[in-house]
Amino acid sequence: MTPALPPGVRLHWDAVRACHVLLAPERALMLDEIGHAILARVDGVIGVDTLVAGLAVDFDAPVAEIGSDVTEFLEGLARERLVDLHA
């Protein structure tokens, strides 16, 4: 599975709120550090497994532990049409 941001959706630094946000038409989702770390790696090229492996290294966490959390996060965003998941 390869995640990608759909057309019209982008990451943005909101200086007023001092946080990263995921912007979509008529929507803004404030991100915490982990949400931003995940979405910053979403480029439409690398798969979820590679994305999780990179996060595991950066956060010194077991792949098995964070893999399901990352997948659940991305699938939730996909249900809201904020992320596309390609097979």
Domain span including residue 66: 2-81
Whole-prediction pTM:
0.92
- Dihedrals φ, ψ of 18, to 5°? 55, 50
Angle at 9 between CA 6 and CA 13, to 5 degrees: 145
State how many domains the chain has.
Answer: 1
| C-alpha to C-alpha distances, 61 to 5, 7, 13, 32, 43, nearest whole angstrom | 25, 32, 26, 17, 22
Residue 59: partners with Cβ closer than 8 Å, 6 or more residues away: 37, 66
In a domain, 87, yes or no: no
pLDDT of residue 28: 93
Residue 13: partners with Cβ closer than 8 Å, 6 or more residues away: 19, 20, 21
Mind listing the pLDDT tens digit for each residue in 20-74? 999 999 999 999 999 999 999 999 999 999 999 999 999 999 999 999 999 999 9
The enclosing domain of 72 has a CATH number of 1.10.10.1150
